[in-house]
Structure 1
Amino acid sequence: MTQAPREIWLVGIGTGSPSHITLEGVNALRAAALILVPRKGTGKDDLAEIRHRIIAECGSQARILHFDYPERDPALPYQERVERWHDEIAHRWQSTIAGAKIDGPVALLVWGDPSLYDSTLRIAARLRPEPRVRVVPGITAIQALTAAHKIPLNTVNGSVHVTTGRRLRTLGMPANETSVVVMLDGLCSFQELDPVELHIWWGAYLGSEKQILIEGPLDEVRKGIVQTRTEARARHGWIMDCYLLRRV
Structure 2
Amino acid sequence: MRDLWLIGIGTGSPDHVTREGLRALSEAGLILVPRKGPGKDDLAELRLRIIEEAGATARVVPFDMPVRDESLPYQTRVARWHDEIAARWQDAIAGAEVDGPVALLVWGDPGLYDSTLRIAERLSPAPRLRVVPGVTALQALTSAHAIPFNTVNGAVTVTTGRRLRDHGWPEGAESVVVMLDGECSFQGLAPEGLHLWWGAYLGMENQLLDAGPLAEAGPRVVEARAKARAAHGWIMDTYLLRREAP
Give TM class, smaller chain. over 0.9
- Cα distance in 1 between the residues matched to 2:168 and 2:231: 31
C-alpha distance after superposition, 1:121-146 (max 9, x if no partner) = 00011000000000000111100000
1:67 to 18, 38, 63: 63
2:144 to 122, 125, 148: 148
Q: CA deviation at 1:68?
A: 0.3
- Residue in structure 2 matched with residue 238 of structure 1 by the alignment: 234
How many pairs are equivalent? Answer: 244
1:100 partner SS: coil
1:215 to 211, 219, 223: 211
- Cα distance in 2 between the residues matched to 1:102 and 1:157: 49
Q: Which amino acid aligns with 1:141?
A: A
Q: CA deviation at 1:175?
A: 2.5
- Cα distance in 1 between the residues matched to 2:85 and 2:217: 38
- Cα distance in 1 between the residues matched to 2:195 and 2:171: 15
Q: Which amino acid aligns with 1:166?
A: R
Identical columns (%): 69
Q: CA deviation at 1:16?
A: 1.8
Q: How does 1:1-248 map to 2 (within 5 A)?
A: 5-248=1-244
Q: Which amino acid aligns with 1:205?
A: Y
Q: CA deviation at 1:237?
A: 1.1
Q: CA RMSD in A?
A: 0.6
Normalising by structure 2, report the TM-score.
Answer: 0.98
Q: CA deviation at 1:103?
A: 2.9
Q: Which amino acid aligns with 1:124?
A: A
Normalising by structure 1, report the TM-score.
Answer: 0.97
Structure 1 runs, 4 residues or longer, greater than 3 Å off: none
Q: CA deviation at 1:59?
A: 1.1
CA contact (8 A) 1:16 1:51 kept: no
